[in-house]
Structures are given as structure tokens and as C-alpha cells.
Amino acid sequence: MTKSILLACSGGYSTSMLVERMKKVASEKGVDVVIEATAESSIDTFADSIDVIMLGPQMAHAEKDLKAKYDLPIATIDMMDYGMMNGEKVLNTALKLIEGNQ
């Protein structure tokens, strides 16, 4: 079954780069996943069709409120992984959160 991961940041721009790295790793590993990036203001658009929300470190302040609003795993991306655009680590973290929620 295809897993769906949403990365959200203030504008959706910096997470777009990380999404591409995550997609590359997923493809190399044969992981069936859809990964998208969006701005914080557009999370509602995706909420019914995703399995996990990963927040850019600049959005850590919103994690608690988003967890109260959505019934799905939500986590802030590690600042070092985000800064290094470590697609593999962020993908693995997202997949673990999805598995832990099933």
C-alpha cells in the first residue's frame, strides 16, 4: 500500500528540495510512497489523504496545535537532517511514524 508523506514549512519552498532527495531514496529502495511539500497554510488541503506530516524545524512551534487538529502522526524534522537535506533519514523517520500509527 502506498504511504503518503507531507512535509510542511512556512512557505513550502525549502521542504521542496528535501522532498526530491526523499523521493530519490525511496525510488532506490523500492519504497511505495508519495511525498509532497506544502506551506503551513495549505496543510488542510492534504489532511484527508496523508499518513504523516513532517514539519520543517522553523515550524516546531506549531507541532502541538497540529497534533490536536489532525488524527495522524506529526513530527518536527531534526534540524541537522533538515539542514543537511538528509532525505534518507527523514524518509526513515516518516515511515517509522506511519508504522507506529497502524
Contacts of residue 75, Cβ cutoff 8 Å, sequence gap at least 6: 52, 53, 54, 55, 63, 93, 94, 97
**Choosing from 7, 8, 9, 35, which is the catalytic residue?**
9
Classify 53 as helix, strand or coil. Answer: strand
Encoded amino acid at 67, one letter = K
Q: 531514496: which residue's cell?
A: 25
99 in active site? no
Q: Which residues are catalytically annotated?
A: 9
